[in-house]
Chain A
Amino acid sequence: MAYQELMKNFNRVRDYMRDFYVYGLKRREEYTQKSARSYDDERRRMESWLGPWMQFRQSAEGKQVFLSLDSRRTKHNPLYQAWKAKSFTDGDLTLHFLLLGILQSEERGWTIRELMAQLDQMLSAFTKSRTFDESTVRKKLKEYEAEGLVEREKKGAVVFYRSGGKPAGLNVDVLDFFSEVAPCGVIGSFLLDQWQEVGDHFLFKHHYITGAMDSEVVYTLLLAMQEKRSVSLHLVSRRRNHKTTLSVVPLRLMKSVQSGRTYLMAYVPVFRRISSYRVDQIVTVEMGKESPLFDSMREKLEGMMPHLWGVSTQGRGKSRLEKVEMTIRYEENEPYIRQRLEREKRCGTVEQVGKGCCKWTAEVYDSSEAIPWIRTFLGRITEIHFSNPVVEAQFRRDLEEMYALYDVEVADDFS
């Protein structure tokens, strides 16, 4: 099939975009899961959608294509472009504009007969005018009714169709802002596309944009939660190239603004526990039946929240909860260090244990999740204890390795 700029299935491009944007490491020959032709097509599509941000580097090993952008300098998430590249048939586009045009030409309800007559009249203006049969038009109207574009009203035996209302009362700044920070922000971007006015008054720091690729998955999961339904997740582990399907009750989406990942917290009946799943590893979501377990499991998750550092509900040790304690020192003119501890801790307590010394204590399901944060206090940690000895040993081994990497010698002064 000849190359097309538009595509039917979003998942075709989802992995490529992530690879190009997050990693930007692979060469053409390394994309082995699909054919080289498929790689060429997807790369060409992305160049067409994201031209200014696509770059390549030629080395002795080959050509690396990557997406390079500083999200602090872009006012709109460029990855949303991919969501605006859905393919369609010639008939789809023709019917879309003619039907909406007719319905909006007069503020009244239209019968199917009136619509067909008007449609035929408009099409007759073309040299090779095409015709649509009534069943095709009815099908399109039904589809648009489900989308909310068309309203249907039955008066006696007659059905009348009218257009949905014109977008009103929206604010370009609201759309600019929430299309970047709210879940499924791409929907705000769809609204912005119809806007004549340009806002662009916002910039975003620490802005992870890759979540855009998972918008359809997130949308379906959010809908499932509103309806308290279970879902079937089709998951893929990219490292192990392993696919699996799992029936779960989705309970909450948890986003990290420090790692760029979003997780689904879900009750898994087959394991009888609440677990987390990375949204970017969910290929598709199939809606299931309403679950009687939703409310009780949501409540259970709520009770677990004070002990979740990240999203892990189970540590590597034997205990259900693991204790971690860290004492740090700071100078009199460094009150912001304690403030940092207070504002950045996600659970646990902070207490003053002496002049210029304070201690953070927490009981969490998985203390290893807190290690990256603990390391940000390196230079100040006077004491550290993990109830899980494996985690403590790993922390201390890593620290020794860091000393070796940067040639830090044993200190003479332990004051």
Chain B
Amino acid sequence: MIFREIYSVYYHTVAKILQAALSHPLSAEELQEMVEQNAFGESVLHLLPALKEEKWQVLKSDGTTPLSKAPYLPLTTVEKQWLKAIEQDPRLQLFGDISFDFPDVKPLFRPEDYLIFDRYQDGDPYEDAAYQAHFRLILDAIRNQYPLEVELKTRRGNQTKMVLLPKALEYSEKDDKFRLLGEGNRFGNTINLARIQQCRRYEKPWEAKKEEKEAPQRAYVVFTLMDRRKALERVMLHFAHFEKQAERLGESRYRVKVWYEVEDETELLIRLLSFGPLVQVKEPERMVSLLRQRLQQQRSCGL
């Protein structure tokens, strides 16, 4: 079972409190601050009284503990099973030569037990040594915040070189690709890792430049949906990862507003098309017009 109190926010918060109490008696204010920082929004109402009233006999009312050492939570069997399972994932090797030595535990799953069936087939080459080296260097640069000089092949096949400060790695399960998100380069700060040919630490003095393209802009689309053929459930789940708002217009009609990043406009367009006549885009006019254009092109194909 994984729904266990040993993993709870309360246990985790008490562990932190005990660790602090070993160094000095905790004041009421310190206790409150620790609960607010580590537990849920309303936990002060439940957790603090239980400690203060010595219902949980681990912290005395004077803010000290009878323990001589703050206990740690040993790795549980469930955690070992999970770690053994991810050990078999080729993406683990991106992080270095990592293995987990738990001879007494079998993996929770093996690659043949769990399949993503609609992932695109041109995913990144995780087992490629150069790719792994680029990944590790980029991750190190993100951690330690130093610029990188990157040579890459663009989508059109041209060679280019750029210097940027890496900020994060973005992963898409659908594309099965990593992208480097950085800043400080005038001509763009997003790079598909698989396009990188050379990557090295930039040692010369460097000043971040403001990107000429504007920062990712958010846009929205509004559509109505007819709840036929389980459309409500399919559409809402499909767009679940976006920020969105929905309201009921009638018995089986709904209005949905979805916010997305402008760079993903074409992707959003074809995702809307995939629902056929069950969704109808209402706003903005640009999206309506793009959809109409696709349908006009389709009509001209004779279908």
Q: A residues bordering B, Cβ < 8 Å?
A: 4-6, 10, 21-25, 44, 47-49, 51, 57, 59, 64, 66, 68-72, 81, 83-88, 90, 92-94, 96-98, 100-101, 104-105, 121-123, 125-130, 146-150, 163-167, 169-171, 173-174, 177-178, 181-184, 186-188, 190-191, 193-194, 201-210, 215-216, 219, 222-223, 225-226, 239, 252-261, 298, 308, 310-311, 329, 339, 342-346, 371-373, 375-376, 378-384, 396, 398-399, 401-403, 405-411, 413-415
B121 lies within 8 A of chain A by Cβ: yes
The interface residues of chain B lying within 8 Å CB-to-CB of A127 are: 54, 61
Instruction: Tell me the chain B residues, 254-298 only, with Cβ under 8 Å from chain A.
Output: 254, 259, 261, 270-271, 273-277, 280, 288, 291-298
Given A183-B108, A408-B299, 17 additional A-B pairs, CB 8 A: A25-B254, A70-B242, A83-B3, A88-B8, A104-B71, A125-B60, A126-B60, A164-B75, A187-B2, A190-B7, A201-B169, A206-B172, A206-B174, A206-B241, A210-B237, A255-B115, A375-B274
The interface residues of chain A lying within 8 Å CB-to-CB of B126 are: none
Size bracket of the B interface: 35 or more
Chain A proximity of B292: nearest CB distance (Å): 4
B206 lies within 8 A of chain A by Cβ: no
In the assembled complex, 15 residue pairs joining A and B whose CB atoms fall closer than 8 Å, in A order, are A23-B232, A68-B243, A100-B71, A171-B96, A174-B98, A187-B2, A190-B7, A193-B12, A202-B171, A216-B1, A259-B118, A343-B120, A344-B121, A380-B301, A402-B276
Q: Are A190 and B79 in contact (CB under 8 A)?
A: yes
B23 lies within 8 A of chain A by Cβ: no
The interface residues of chain B lying within 8 Å CB-to-CB of A171 are: 95-96, 98
Q: Are B7 and A83 in contact (CB under 8 A)?
A: yes
Q: Are B237 and A261 in contact (CB under 8 A)?
A: yes
Instruction: Tell me the chain B residues, 61-114 only, with Cβ under 8 Å from chain A.
Output: 61, 66-80, 82-83, 85-86, 89, 91-92, 95-96, 98, 100, 105-110, 112-114
Which of these, B69, B100, B121, B293, contacts A169 with CB under 8 Å? B100
C-alpha spacing A376/B295, complex, angstroms: 11
Chain B proximity of A55: nearest CB distance (Å): 9
Given contacts A148-B75, A252-B114, contact A122 B3 (CB under 8 A): no
Q: Are A97 and B114 in contact (CB under 8 A)?
A: no
Smallest Cβ-Cβ distance to B258: which chain A residue: A70
Smallest Cβ-Cβ distance to B170: which chain A residue: A203
Q: Are B10 and A69 in contact (CB under 8 A)?
A: no
C-alpha spacing A4/B49, complex, angstroms: 13
Smallest Cβ-Cβ distance to B299: which chain A residue: A411
Given contacts A100-B71, A216-B2, contact A173 B241 (CB under 8 A): no
Q: Are A253 and B67 in contact (CB under 8 A)?
A: no
Instruction: Tell me the chain B residues, 1-36 only, with Cβ under 8 Å from chain A.
Output: 1-12, 14-15, 18
C-alpha spacing A169/B117, complex, angstroms: 32
Chain B proximity of A88: nearest CB distance (Å): 4
Chain A proximity of B185: nearest CB distance (Å): 18
B245 lies within 8 A of chain A by Cβ: yes
Q: Are A206 and B300 in contact (CB under 8 A)?
A: no
Given contacts A147-B77, A219-B108, A375-B276, contact A97 B15 (CB under 8 A): yes
Q: Are B115 and A252 in contact (CB under 8 A)?
A: yes
Chain A proximity of B267: nearest CB distance (Å): 9
B191 lies within 8 A of chain A by Cβ: no
C-alpha spacing A339/B157, complex, angstroms: 15
Q: Are B95 and A173 in contact (CB under 8 A)?
A: yes
Q: Are B3 and A379 in contact (CB under 8 A)?
A: no
Given contacts A191-B79, A223-B108, A384-B303, contact A206 B173 (CB under 8 A): yes
The interface residues of chain A lying within 8 Å CB-to-CB of B98 are: 169, 171, 174
